[in-house]
């Protein structure tokens, strides 16, 4: 669902040429719970049901998909609205801790009003192994399964891979956090076996979202941040960075002789 745009290209001969190119869509997306707007994120307006479910799970607004009774996507004047009806207990908890966010390209921490909110406790997970051959197999499939990025060069991807490295689900978005939330929604929160593969760096927020739904292993094409490494170690998440066929780094905060 890329968007056609007009561009001017400067060639090696110094001449300008006018052409069409493809841009990744980005719009404000508001998530509204039981009539109360909770968050507005800048996102690619595709797979929004997956996005709303995944965000609700990864942010702890609900614990199970069935706690969402209804979900309706409504076009708005300047973007999209996702109207969610959630169960009474979840809604009461949301009201107790409600925070207004305004994210840029999926930044899930923008707008929090205290340091405590920014560093919530991380959920412990069961570590999963990522075999080198499985990671190589997953990486070999990643590019072909990113049509939006192939068209625009500006989309992130998050994929769920089975233990053998076959990609089972993949979602794209202009924001890396959004792509992961969409993946979480697409998988309905079922992460008992396998690993996540992300096309971006692994930030604190990416690790926190992964752990919040029980993901036990994550491989990132780019590097992790120091806080992501700390959180992964605390939760038990297997965290790999600079993932390439046959080569990667495993991160930990203390000396370890283990190999995963």
**29, two tokens:** 């997306």
- The residue behind tokens 């069961």 is 126
Residue 110 among the catalytic residues: no
Helix 176-186 and helix 48-58: axis angle, to 10°? 90
Residues 6+ apart with CB under 8 A from 60: 120, 212
Structural domains of the chain, ranges and CATH numbers in brackets: 27-118 (3.10.20.10), 132-250 (3.40.140.10)
Q: Sign (positive/negative) of CA torsion 113, 116, 118, 121?
A: negative
| Ordered strands of the 68-75 beta sheet | 68-75, 80-86, 27-33, 36-43, 101-102
Strand bridging mode 68-75 / 80-86:
antiparallel
Q: Which residue has the tokens 């956090």?
A: 177
pLDDT tens track of the chain, all 260 residues?
Answer: 789 999 999 999 999 999 999 999 999 999 999 999 999 999 999 999 999 999 999 999 999 999 999 999 999 888 999 999 999 999 999 988 765 444 444 555 444 555 555 667 899 999 999 999 999 999 999 999 999 999 999 999 999 999 999 999 999 999 999 999 999 999 997 898 999 999 999 999 999 999 999 999 999 999 999 999 999 999 999 999 999 999 999 997 654 444 44
- What CA–CA distance (Å, rounded) separates 221 from 250? 12
> Of 171, 205, 164, which Cα lies nearest the Cα of 187?
171
pLDDT tens string 111-151: 455 555 566 789 999 999 999 999 999 999 999 999 999 99
Q: Which two tokens stand for residue 184?
A: 């979480």
CB 170 within 8 A of CB 202: no
| Residue labelled with tokens 């920014």 | 118
Query: What is the number of residues in the chain?
Result: 260
Q: Does the pTM exceed 0.85? A: yes
């Amino acid at each position: 669902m890329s968007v056609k745009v007009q561009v001017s290209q400067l060639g090696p001969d110094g001449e300008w040429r006018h052409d069409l190119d493809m841009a990744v869509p980005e719009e404000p997306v508001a998530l509204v719970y039981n009539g109360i707007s909770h968050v507005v994120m800048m996102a690619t307006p595709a797979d929004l049901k997956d996005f709303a479910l995944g965000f609700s799970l990864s942010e702890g607004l609900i614990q199970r998909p069935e706690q969402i009774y209804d979900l309706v996507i409504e076009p708005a004047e300047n973007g999209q609205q996702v109207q969610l009806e959630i169960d009474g207990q979840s809604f009461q908890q949301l009201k107790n801790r409600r925070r207004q966010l305004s994210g840029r390209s999926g930044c899930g921490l923008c707008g929090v009003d205290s340091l405590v909110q920014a560093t919530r406790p991380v959920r412990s997970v069961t570590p999963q192994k990522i075999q080198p051959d499985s990671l190589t197999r997953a990486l070999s499939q990643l590019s072909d399964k990113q049509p939006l990025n192939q068209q625009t060069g500006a989309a992130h991807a998050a994929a769920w891979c089975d233990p053998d490295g076959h990609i089972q689900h993949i979602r794209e978005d202009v924001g890396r956090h959004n792509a992961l939330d969409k993946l979480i929604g697409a998988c309905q929160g079922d992460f008992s076996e396998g690993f996540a593969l992300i096309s971006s760096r692994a930030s604190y927020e990416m690790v926190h979202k992964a752990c919040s739904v029980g993901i036990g292993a994550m491989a990132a094409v780019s590097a992790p941040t120091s806080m992501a490494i700390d959180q992964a170690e605390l939760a038990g998440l297997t965290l790999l960075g600079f993932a390439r066929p046959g080569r990667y780094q495993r991160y930990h905060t203390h000396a370890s002789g283990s190999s995963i």
